[in-house]
Amino acid sequence: MVSNDRNAVRLIRGVRKLRKVVVMGVGMTRLDQHFDKGIKELYEEAVLKALDDSGNPTVDHLYVSNAYADLVCDQADLGSLLLDYCGAGCSPITQIGGACGAGGCAISEGFKAVSSGQSDVVLIAGVEKVSDVVTKEATSISSLCEDQEYEASYGLTMAGINAMAARSYMQKYSATREQLALFAVQMHKNAVKNPYAYLPFEVTTDKVIESFPVADPLTFLDSSPLCDGSAAVVIGSVDSARKFTDCLVEMAGVAQSSDSVAVHERDSLLTMKSTVEAAKKAYEIAKVKPSDIDICEIHDAYTITGFIGLEDLSLVERGKAGIAIEEGTIAKDGKIPTNLSGGLKARGNPIGATGVYQIAEVTLQLRGEAEGTQVDSAEIGLTHNISGFGSTAVVGILRRLK
Q: What is the pLDDT of residue 133?
A: 79
CA dist list (Å): 102 to 125, 161, 170, 294, 393:
10, 20, 30, 25, 10
Exposed / middle / buried, residue 14 (Cβ in 10 Å: 0-12, 13-18, 19+): exposed
Q: What is the pLDDT of residue 71?
A: 82
What is the rounded average pLDDT of the residues 59-79? 89
Model confidence band, residue 13 (pLDDT cutoffs 50, 70, 90) = very low
Q: Which domains does the chain have, with CATH numbers?
A: 19-133+224-400 (3.40.47.10)
Per-residue pLDDT at 87 exceeds 80: no
Per-residue pLDDT at 181 exceeds 80: yes
Mean pLDDT, rounded, of the chain? 91
CB 398 within 8 A of CB 293: no
Q: What is the pLDDT of residue 156?
A: 81
What is the rounded average pLDDT of the residues 178-187? 98
250-273 pLDDT, tens per residue? 999 999 999 998 888 889 999 999
Q: What is the pLDDT of residue 5?
A: 42
Per-residue pLDDT at 4 exceeds 90: no
Per-residue pLDDT at 326 exceeds 70: yes
Higher pLDDT, 347 or 15: 347
Per-residue pLDDT at 2 exceeds 80: no
Per-residue pLDDT at 135 exceeds 70: no
Q: What is the pLDDT of residue 371?
A: 87
Q: What is the pLDDT of residue 90?
A: 66
In 3D, which of 29, 25, 36, 26 has the Cα closest to residue 127? Answer: 29
Per-residue pLDDT at 169 exceeds 90: yes
Helical H segments across 226-353, by residue range = 238-242, 273-286, 303-312, 321-326, 343-346
